[in-house]
Chain A
């Protein structure tokens, strides 16, 4: 028989004996939460290749790829096998790839018109989806993607990578803090001097079953209305999304002008376009994208009553002061820190340019390519740890609808209203 004393000592010893098991369990559980997300990618062309090369291997493991075009297929599979998983599998049939239960998430970098069908299929198969920008060239498509994500209870993130770029985060903070005063006008542009055509290789492949009349249409999908909105969707979507972010709103009307002026080679989208968007609070956003001169390169310029912020080439930020209130210039520095996450520091300094106005400029050590790495890391963070979505379907749709209407305005030559029903509402 065991008496009370013996029982007490026995219980105490037992507790001491098993005391290290709960902390061990807690650490093991945490470690499991940090296992890389097993991901597949569809579309290994230009942007797909960039995603494969810049994906954060500590967060994400690419285990499968899908591409209908043999040259991209081979290139993509080799890259994934070298960088991520030597046993990665390649597929030409997307639904077949979706059947794999070990794939948790899918990156979609296929041509624009396929964004909605591929995203919805992946979500319905229970995968989280990272879909490249622009979300989709039709408003119904965008809405279907959002609804499919909600129904499947999976993460949908749209690839507006500038949300992860600390230069833009810092600029947003400065604007919110009132450093440049009230903003009435934002200008953005992307000017290039070239025809934007990709070479069409000799391939033993018939793209017609996939909806492309010829190989030329597949390789130059950006130039055709069926597959893309052209400059607006491939370039403009980045910059319009930034304006939505900085303005904390969405445009209410658009007027556009443009056409195919220089490269009359059978393309169906404009090579020169000029848009004016009206936002609430008397803010106007003007956008131009041309293919006959590249002096201005690409930038966003936010013009406030007390100063100007210029974000150039995704890698340089300049802050100009105006008006009596601001007499100090602020130097913005961004660099990648030891741990891999970027850090920012701001210090006050005085610089004057030739005209005597205050200028401060910082060339970022943070490469624009790093933003792809960080947005994919954020995607994994959201999947594993329910972190806030860096750019969800609603934000993606809010950046797409104005461009869809903008393209229509250019075609019709009319100012068009963008009423609330063209944006997401629950």
Chain B
């Protein structure tokens, strides 16, 4: 459970792994729920997009070819990255893709002023930063730290890489 020759304390490593696992479960279940709903589409979310790229997202909602692709990518992207983060396989890549996905969700509905003022929503008072952005940044943190090395199949991969390396070096 300890990363080899690491400068991270036990607490840091446990927290990293825990966060990676739970963020993975969050993404996975988001994807699973959408998959199970017979008629889920990103159209609703996209057509009520706001913020700096609001009109671009809204245009995608009216473009069936791209919309179908987005629907597929969102559902399976969430499922795949969530699953990989949970089992700790290819954690860096999965976390990076997760960051991109969730950041795009954020960009489609950023908490920006409406007619000059922030309207409080179900999540309270948010100006420029909301929980979606925080989750995106969390995935970024998971990506830049060796979160898959504490526990997870990435350990087997790094072991395998080391073994290969040792064959070629004296």
Interface positions of A (Cβ within 8 A of B): 27, 30-31, 33-34, 36, 56, 58-59, 337-341, 343, 345, 374, 377-378, 380-381, 384-385, 387
Contacts and interface: CB of A to CB of B under 8 A. Distances in A.
A340 B114 contact: yes
Contacts of B48: 337-339, 343
Nearest to A164: B115
A378 B114 CA distance: 10
B117 interface: yes
A340 B112 CA distance: 12
A250 B48 CA distance: 38
Interface in B92-129: 109, 113-120, 127-128
Contacts of A36: 117
B117 A387 contact: no
A111 to B, nearest CB: 30
B50 interface: yes
Contact of B128 (A27, A33, A378): A27
A271 to B, nearest CB: 39
Main secondary structure of the interface of B (DSSP, over half): loop
Contacts of A33: 116
Given A34-B127, A337-B48, A338-B50, A381 B118 contact: no
Contacts of B109: 338-339
A377 B50 contact: no
Contact of B120 (A58, A374, A387): A58
Interface in B51-108: 58
A345 B43 CA distance: 14
Contact of B119 (A58, A343, A374): A58
B120 to A, nearest CB: 6
Contact of A377 (B58, B117, B118, B127): B117
B62 to A, nearest CB: 8
Contact of A339 (B47, B116, B119): B119
Given A36-B117, A341-B114, A341-B115, 16 more contacts: A27-B128, A34-B113, A56-B119, A58-B117, A58-B120, A59-B116, A337-B48, A338-B48, A339-B48, A339-B109, A340-B119, A345-B47, A380-B117, A381-B117, A384-B117, A387-B116
A420 B117 CA distance: 39
Contact of B50 (A27, A59, A337): A337
Nearest to A341: B114
Contact of A381 (B47, B115, B120): B115
Nearest to B50: A339
A380 B114 CA distance: 11
A391 to B, nearest CB: 15
B114 to A, nearest CB: 5
A404 to B, nearest CB: 32
Contacts of A337: 48, 50
Interface string B113-148: 111111110000001100000000000000000000
Nearest to A374: B115
27 contacts: A27-B127, A27-B128, A30-B127, A34-B113, A34-B116, A36-B117, A56-B119, A58-B117, A58-B120, A337-B48, A337-B50, A338-B50, A338-B109, A339-B48, A339-B119, A340-B114, A341-B50, A341-B114, A343-B58, A377-B116, A380-B116, A380-B117, A381-B115, A381-B117, A384-B116, A384-B117, A385-B116
Q: Which 8 A-B residue pairs are closest in the complex by CB-CB distance?
A: A381-B116, A338-B48, A385-B116, A377-B115, A381-B115, A58-B119, A59-B117, A339-B50
A27 B113 CA distance: 13
Nearest to A379: B115
Nearest to A386: B116
Nearest to B45: A338
B162 to A, nearest CB: 37
A58 B118 contact: yes
Contact of A59 (B47, B58, B115): B115
Contacts of A34: 113, 116-118, 127
User: Of residues B109, B115, B127, which shows the largest number of chain A Cβ atoms within 10 Å of its Cβ?
Assistant: B115
Contacts of A30: 127
Contacts of A59: 115-117
A370 to B, nearest CB: 13
A377 B116 CA distance: 8
A59 B113 CA distance: 10
User: Of residues B48, B58, B109, which shows the largest number of chain A Cβ atoms within 10 Å of its Cβ?
Assistant: B48
Contacts of A56: 117, 119
A34 to B, nearest CB: 5
B107 to A, nearest CB: 14
A406 B48 CA distance: 45
A384 B116 CA distance: 8
Contacts of B58: 343
